[in-house]
Structure 1
Amino acid sequence: MVAFPKSELRAAAGGRCEPEGAESRETEAECGDAKEEKRGQTIVWRNVVLMALLHLAAVYALQLIPRAHPFTWIWSYVCFLITGLGITAGAHRLWSHRSYKAKFPLRMFLAAANSMAFQVYALFKGILGTHNVKYSHTFDASPLASNELYIWDNPLLFKLLYLCAVLFRYYKLSVVMMCFVVPTLVPWYFWDESIWNSYFLPGILRYTICLNCTWLVNSAAHIYGNRPYDKYINPRENCLVTFGAMGEGFHNFHHTFPFDYSASEFGLRLNPTTCFIDFMCLLGLASNRKKATPEMIKSRKLRTGDGSA
């Protein structure tokens, strides 16, 4: 395990870095544009209808649970865990934050697990959107760096565009197979579960629960809880979200130290994703775990925390 270089963590330990001069004015202008865009938002009724139908199907699936084979219950939970790891250990901690390194077999597993999550658009929105707002003003390596004259002069952007092209070429196939076909076929083939139960329990119900766990991270964990690391930001520590989202509820810590592979000060506690990454390191499939030092955490608590921990 390696600690992140202090020179690159000055902002995390000492507070937020604010852009100066022209960059500050540009940031204010962008914030103003974002507010205007927010006021002009419209309801996408197609998505409303699809989400309503999905949740109605999930409610229907609940009454199928007593009639299903116990192995189907276990398989549904296994699919939930695999899906969660695809989001937390894969899309979030590995690809969005580069908080550790993974070898090819592990990357393949996490990519397949992320297809089971059916949230790939959120991943690329994170990489090219919200996760890039901060770094587009500070690092030349940003794919949106303004000092790059041509698109091909930026290797990172070229790689991202190539990855997007490959992803969207096989996107629908991978999602259909991993999110619905595989979870349905396993119980039907191996223990003669009905195709109806096989589709609705490890397929629809599991997918709906995973979606709501992800949404809780982006909603409840920004509203309810304490802020022991930075009281000036919305993300909070929320134990209930932590339990449901496999360790992603330590959100005030994560937004204060986004490079930390465990997304928490407390290591393995209520953090199945960190357990998984540590186990992969024992197997030699992961390495270079980045971790905030105790001194850095203590300094940040004293400087910007709300005093709750």
Structure 2
Amino acid sequence: MAKSSEVEDNATLNSEIIPKKIDKENRSQTISVYDQIRPKNEGSFMSTVREWEKMAGFKTPIVWINTIAISLAHALVLVSVYFLIIDGRYYPKWQTIVFQCLSIVLTTFGIGAGAHRLWSHRAYKAKLPLQIILVIGYTMAGMNDLYQWVRDHRVHHKFSETSADPHDANRGFFFAHVGWLMTKKHPDVIREGKQVDMSDIDNNPLIQFHLNKIMPRENWVVSFFVLGEGWHNYHHTFPWDYKAAELAFPFNGTTNLLDLFAKIGWAYELRVAPPSLIEKVAKTKGDLSYHKE
């Protein structure tokens, strides 16, 4: 549940960042959020593009390298679907299909159980062998480095649906899911990201190895299958619950895998919201659709 200090922070950040004012030749002029973080000295062509972005209503400048890379990734998926399903002339070997399925499970497990539940929320503890598996899975997913993922997610929870939220839902469905990867961060996001406590990540040797030796920055790939990461409301109510969801099987593959590793002792001290607390919150603040396991 949100602490009172977090509620106050949210209230403060519900409005856009206060525009800076400058005085030039005795005239008061307002600098927009867009212009505050607009790249400088990009040349005449990009200056024209930036003016178009402003007229189109973008709050922050587009990062075109990310936008092109993400668009191409989705285009390749559509092309692959065409050749595999519609055209029918190309069909992968069964070994390729098995490898792909295992890769999907490993990468989503690395994101959900690793970056999200273990390192962002510390919802459970993991021994080194499991941490290595999680780092490998996360790295294979091709996302940003772990430090940035954890930092942005902690800021997202503290300032959810405000201008300091990296994927602020108030800026629309597309922005909240994909668009935030295609634009520069709002100044509020940058400011609060510098304040969030990341000492546990800084002091984790495995993550530091991942950051310094393995993971390149700005390497974006969108994941379609999330293995139990979609229970947004429950997770925001109980972010420390390792399940990240009210229900487990069959809709929470990451939880099922964590339970498996818990049985062999590689995952332990799994934190869970007590059923009595869930029921109490559901009755007082929920939509009366509480499900008992």
TM superposition score normalised by structure 1: 0.59
Map 1:107-186 onto structure 2 (within 5 A).
107-121=131-145, 123-132=146-155, 144=195, 156=200, 158-159=202-203, 166-172=209-215
Could you tell me whether the CA contact under 8 Å between 1:99 and 1:259 is conserved in 2?
yes
Within the candidate set 68, 78, 101, 1:49 is matched to: 68
Select the structure with the greater relative contact order (CA < 8 A; seq sep ≥ 6).
1
Q: Does 1:69 align with 2:112?
A: no
Q: Aligned to 2:289, what secondary structure does the other structure show? A: coil
Q: Whole-Å Cα distance in 2 between the matches of residues 76 and 26 of structure 1?
A: 41
Aligned length: 217
**1:33 correspondence with 2:17:** yes
Partner amino acid, structure 1, of 2:16: G
Deviations, residues 26-57 of structure 1 (Å, cap 9, x unaligned): 96168532897476311222222222222222
Query: In 1, distance between residues paired with 2:64 and 2:199?
Result: 38
Structure 2 residue matching 1:67: 3-state secondary structure: coil
Aligned counterpart in structure 2 of residue 246 of structure 1, from 227, 252, 259:
227
Give the counterpart of 2:281 among 281, 300, 308. Answer: 300
Counterpart residue number, 1:105 = 129
| 2:47 match | none
Aligned to 1:201: none
| Aligned-residue identity in percent | 28
Residues 99 and 29 of structure 1: is their aligned pair in 2 closer, same or farther, counting only changes over 3 Å?
Answer: closer
Contact 1:247 1:271 (C-alpha < 8 Å) held by counterparts: yes
Q: Deviations over 1:190-218 (max 9, x none)?
A: xxxxxxxxxxxxxxxxx96xx242xxxxx
Q: 1:236 aligns to what? A: none
Q: Distance in 2 between matches of 1:117 and 1:110?
A: 11
Work out whether residues 115 and 174 of structure 1, in 8 Å CA contact, stay in contact via their aligned partners in 2: no
Pairing 1:91–2:112 present: no
Q: 2:79 aligns with which of 60, 65, 90?
A: 60
Q: Is the 8 A contact 2:122 2:240 kept in 1?
A: yes
* Residues 1:82 and 2:106 are matched in the alignment: yes
1:18 is matched with: 4
Deviation string, structure 1 residues 72-126 (Cα, Å, up to 9, x no partner): 11111111111111111111111111111110011011101110011133x4334
Alpha-carbon distance in structure 2 between the residues aligned to 1:112 and 1:158: 19
Q: Distance in 2 between matches of 1:275 and 1:34?
A: 46
Q: CA deviation at 1:169?
A: 2.3
CA distance in 1, matches of 2:202, 2:119: 16
Closer/same/farther in 2, CA of residues 44 and 90 from structure 1, 3 Å limit: same
| Unaligned residue ranges in structure 1 (runs of 5+) | 1-11, 137-141, 147-153, 177-206, 214-243
**Structure 1 or 2: more helix by fraction:** 1
User: Amino acid of the residue matched to residue 115 of structure 2?
Assistant: A
SS class of match (1:76): helix
Q: Compared with structure 1, are the counterparts of its residues 109 and 307 closer, same or farther at alpha carbon in structure 2 (3 Å cutoff)?
A: same
Q: Return the alpha-carbon distance in structure 2 between the equivalents of residues 164 and 275 of structure 1.
A: 24
Contact preservation (8 Å) 2:116, 2:150: no
CA RMSD of aligned residues (A): 3.7
- In structure 2, the CA distance between the partners of 1:174 and 1:60, relative to structure 1 (3 Å rule), is same
Note the residue ranges of structure 2 that are not aligned, 5 or more in a row: 20-31, 35-57, 160-192
